[in-house]
Amino acid sequence: MRELGLGNTSTSMYGGFCLAYVAYLSLKNKINDVYQLVKYMELTFSPERVSFIKGNIENLWNVAIEIGEAYSEETLLAVVLWWPLQGNKFMGECETPQSVVKLANEILQISNDKTADFCSGIGIFLVNAIERNPESQFYGVELVTEVKEVAEIRTELISDRVKIEQKSVLDIDDNLMFDKIFCDYPWGIRVKESIGNNEELEAIYNIIPEVQKATAGDWVFIINVMNHLDKHGKAVVSVSNGVTWNGGINTVIREKFVKKGFVEAVIALPSNLYSNTGIACSLLVLSRNNKNIRMIDATEMVSVGRRQNVLSDENISKIIELLNTDDDNSKLVLGEEVAKNEYTLNPSRYLQKEMPIKNGVAFESVIKNITRGAQIKATILDEIVSDEPTNMQYLMLANIKDGIISDDLPYLKEMNPKYEKYCIKNGSLVISKNVSPVKMAIASVKEGNKILANGNLYVIELDEDKINPYFLKAYLESENGKAALSRVAVGATLLNLPVEGLKKITIPLPDLKSQKIIADKYYAKINEIKELKYKLEKATAELEHIYTEEK
C-alpha cells in the first residue's frame, strides 16, 4: 500500500482506501481533471457515497489522479478490494481475518445459493465468497455508515448480484431467508437494547425466552441467524469462547439451543487471529435437526506470525477434513454426552482422554459444602490486618506453596460476621479458582482459631466418613487428577475451574482402609518437605553470618 503512495496521505482510517478507489475510477473512466472527476462522482453515486468519499479524500483529488496515471487498473482494483482496516473487535469495527473467512467459506461450500453476511463490516467475507461463486445471490447488512460504504464499493466492483443494506441485523425482513449465512458480530455488547428495539428483540425471545436474562447480547445475534436460515441451510458464526462455556443463564440458553438441534459443529480456533484482540475464539457451525455435535480443537493448528497468527491453507484443509473424521482433535459427541457436561460447547472438554477410574464416583458425592472465598477490597483488608498475633488469619493464593499452607499467614484485628461463612474448617481442601497452575492444600485449623479464605480460592468441606482429605489431594495432584481438572477448566484468556464442572469430575473412592495407606504415605512426604524447607531456610539464614563468624 505504501508503494502506491497511500500510506501517509490522510489522517482518516478510510483515507488511503478512498484515494485508491478514486484513482481507480479516474483511470477506468479516463478522467484526469479534478472538476470532471468530482462531477462524475456526484452524478453517478448516492449522496451518502459522495459524502463518504469527500470526507475522507479531503483535498487530495490531484493525488488520486496522479496515482491513477501511475498504476494499472488491476493493481488499483486489488488495493480497493483488500485494503486493510483495523478497529475494535468488541465494538464491531474489526475486519474478519482473511484466514477465518477462507475457513468459513470452505465450511459453507456456497454454490448457487442465496448467501448473507450479517454484520458484514467492510465486506471481507462477501468479496471472498463472490470470487469463489459469482453465480450466487449475496446480501449484506451493516449498521455503521462508513463501514457499509466500504463493503458496498468493494462488492459492486466485482458483482452485480449483491445488495448491502444499512440497518440493524434485527431489522432484516422476517420473511427473508438464506441458504448460507456468515456472521461475525461485535462480541461483548452488554446492553441488548442497543442491538434492536423491543419488538425486534421479541422475535429472539420467542425462540429462547431466557436470552432476555443474559447480560451480554451474543445469543441475540446467534439466534437471529437461525431465524433467517432456510430449513436446509447452513451458517457459520464467529463467537468469543465465553459463549461456549459461560455458566448461569447461559447454560440454560445453550441447553435449549442444542436441544433444538441447531448446533452441527464447534471449532475452537487459535488465539491472536484478530488484529485487535489476542483472545481465542470459536466458530459455531449451525444447521437444523442435529442430534450429535462435531467438536474440533484447532487451537494448535496455526502459523505463528510476528504480530498476528493466521490459519494456513494446510491448517484450513486439516480442519475441513476433521469435520468428517474422528482423531485426537476431532470427535462426534452424542447429545447425551453434551447434556452430561452441562451443555458446555468447549471442544477441549470432550477431546481429552479420560483414563478409566476404579471405584470412580462424582466428586460432589463426597462434598459437604463448597464455597468461594471472601472477595474483600484491598483497602478494607489493609484496615483489618494486624501487626500482632490474633486468633484470626487470612489465606491468599500466594500463601500456598508446594501444596502447603504457610505458617506465616497475616493476622486480622477483627472479622465482620458476614465473612464467617468463608472461614476454613479443619481438614477442608483449599483449591485455587485459576488453573495456572492449580494450587491446593489441606487446611489445618487449630481449635479456637479462624482462617478466612481469599476470593481466588475454593474451600471444599469434605465428608470424612467417605474420603480421606490427603488421599483426595494425592489423587488430584497425580497425572490422572490433573487431567481431570484440566478437562473441566474453562476461560478465554485465563483458565479457571467452574464450581459445577469441579463437582462433576470423577474421583476414585476405595474403602477408607485403602485410602489411609496412600494418605499416610502422602502425609509423610508433606512432613518431609516441611522439614527440608525448614533446613533450607535455616541454612540460608546461616549463610549471612559465615563471613562475620570467620572474622
Cα(53)–Cα(47) distance, integer angstroms: 10
Predicted TM-score of the model (pTM): 0.75
Residues 385 and 440 in one domain: yes
Domain total of the chain: 3
Distance CA 148, CA 141 (A): 8
CATH (domain of 400): 3.90.220.20
Q: Are residues 344 and 239 in the same domain?
A: yes
Q: How many CB atoms lie within 10 A of CB 404?
A: 16
Same-domain check for residues 28 and 156: no
- Rounded-to-integer distance, Cα 359 and Cα 366, Å: 13
Same domain, 391 and 430: yes
**Nearest Cα to Cα of residue 341 among 371, 310, 372, 362:** 362
Q: Are residues 138 and 218 in the same domain?
A: yes
Looking at the fold, whether 77 and 100 belong to one and the same domain comes out as no
Structure confidence at residue 348 (pLDDT): 86
Residue 247, C-beta contacts closer than 8 angstroms, at least 6 positions apart: 342, 498, 500
- Specify the residue for cell string 474489526: 94
Task: Give yes or no for a cis peptide into 186 (omega within 30° of 0).
Answer: no
How far is the C-alpha of 462 from the C-alpha of 218, rounded, in Å? 38
Identify whether residues 93 and 74 lie together within a single domain. Answer: no
What's the confidence (pLDDT) of residue 425?
Answer: 94
- Classify residue 141: in a domain, yes or no: yes
- Do 70 and 129 reside in the same domain of the chain? no
- C-alpha to C-alpha distance for 239 and 218, rounded to whole angstroms: 8
The answer to whether residues 17 and 145 belong to one domain is: no
Please check whether residue 418 lies inside any domain of the structure: yes
pLDDT at 187: 85
Q: What is the pLDDT of residue 195?
A: 62
- 516 domain residue, yes or no: yes
Domain assignment of residue 546, yes or no? no
Enter the DSSP assignment of 71.
S
Q: How many DSSP H helices and E strands does the chain contain?
A: 21, 21
Domain edge (last residue) among 321, 351, 381: 351
Structural domain containing residue 456: 361-533
Residues 261 and 186 in one domain: yes
CATH code for position 143? 3.40.50.150
> For residue 541, is it within any domain?
no
- Cβ proximity of 512 and 450 under 8 Å: no
Mark the ranges of the chain whose per-residue pLDDT is less than 70: 1-12, 85-94, 191-198, 353-355, 491-494, 548-551
pLDDT at 549 (0 to 100): 61
Phi and psi based region of residue 112 (left: phi greater than 0; alpha: psi -120 to 50; beta: remaining): left
Give the span between the Cα atoms of 457 and 548, in whole angstroms: 44
**78 and 153 within one domain:** no
- pLDDT for 466: 96
Domain co-membership, 25 together with 77 = yes
Give, in degrees to the nearest 5, the angle at Cα 338 between 332 and 340. Answer: 135
